[in-house]
């Protein structure tokens, strides 16, 4: 199995007790990635386009394509934020980038920014986005990152703005969620960053 790529960013803002290390995820990380993603989908149904109920039945291996192992020019990857655990480092946050194909090949979409609640407010989300942009800049021929974010999440929109993204549109009623809290719609702000 390929060795996991080297560490390249450390997040430390509010002097957390346990600073996070950010690195690219590899095949051996997919079990931890699935656990983290399932928990984020369960806790934040409005934040993501996927829902917990259907996604929890996926296998860790089903996320292999997100690692970009077949993308020689770069621009498709998952990054993880790790803190020291009792035995091995624990994955507590993640973000991904998915490069488009064919005539959209110069663009990629930022997906799945998440940090476990016990670790929020320490700059890890901001560091993940910065690391994602830095890695995207290494990709050959990549020009633009797109993302969509729940429009009412002012704090998350601001996080992206501070990272350099600008808002170019709004998709009203982008999500229709029906769960124990009832049925509701979620608008999505559309943002982009030119690399």
Ligand X SMILES: CC(C)(COP(=O)(O)OP(=O)(O)OC[C@H]1O[C@@H](n2cnc3c(N)ncnc32)[C@H](O)[C@@H]1OP(=O)(O)O)[C@@H](O)C(=O)NCCC(=O)NCCS
- Judged by the rule CB under 6 A, the positions of this chain that interact with ligand X are 40, 44, 47, 113-115, 120-126, 149, 153, 155-156, 159
Token representation of residue 185: 């719609």
Which is nearer to ligand X, 28 or 35 (by Cβ)? 35
Min dist. Cβ of residue 30 to ligand X (A): 19
Q: How far apart are CA 132 and CA 193, in angstroms?
A: 12
Min dist. Cβ of residue 181 to ligand X (A): 16
Burial of 189 (0-12, 13-18, 19+ CB in 10 A): buried
Name the closest residue to ligand X (Cβ): 125
Which is nearer to ligand X, 5 or 121 (by Cβ)? 121
Task: Specify whether the CB–CB gap between 74 and 67 falls below 8 A.
Answer: no
Which is nearer to ligand X, 42 or 73 (by Cβ)? 42
Min dist. Cβ of residue 122 to ligand X (A): 5
CA distances from 158 to 13, 39, 95, 108 (A): 17, 24, 17, 20
């Amino acid at each position: 199995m390929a060795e996991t790529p080297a560490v390249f960013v450390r997040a430390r803002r509010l002097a957390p007790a346990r600073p996070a290390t950010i690195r690219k995820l590899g095949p051996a990380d997919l079990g931890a990635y699935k656990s983290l993603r399932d928990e984020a989908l369960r806790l934040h149904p409005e934040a993501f386009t996927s829902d917990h109920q259907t996604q929890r039945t996926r296998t860790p291996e089903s996320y292999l394509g997100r690692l970009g192992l077949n993308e020689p020019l770069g621009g498709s990857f998952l990054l993880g934020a790790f803190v020291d655990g009792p035995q091995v480092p624990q994955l507590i946050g993640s973000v991904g980038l998915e490069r488009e194909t064919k005539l959209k090949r110069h663009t990629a979409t930022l997906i799945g920014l998440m940090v476990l609640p016990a670790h929020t407010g320490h700059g890890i989300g901001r560091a993940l986005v910065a690391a994602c942009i830095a890695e995207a800049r290494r990709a050959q021929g990549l020009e633009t990152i797109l993302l969509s974010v729940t429009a009412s999440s002012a704090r998350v929109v601001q996080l992206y703005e501070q990272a350099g993204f600008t808002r170019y549109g709004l998709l009203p009623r982008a999500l229709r969620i029906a769960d124990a809290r009832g049925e509701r719609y979620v608008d999505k702000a559309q943002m982009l960053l030119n690399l």
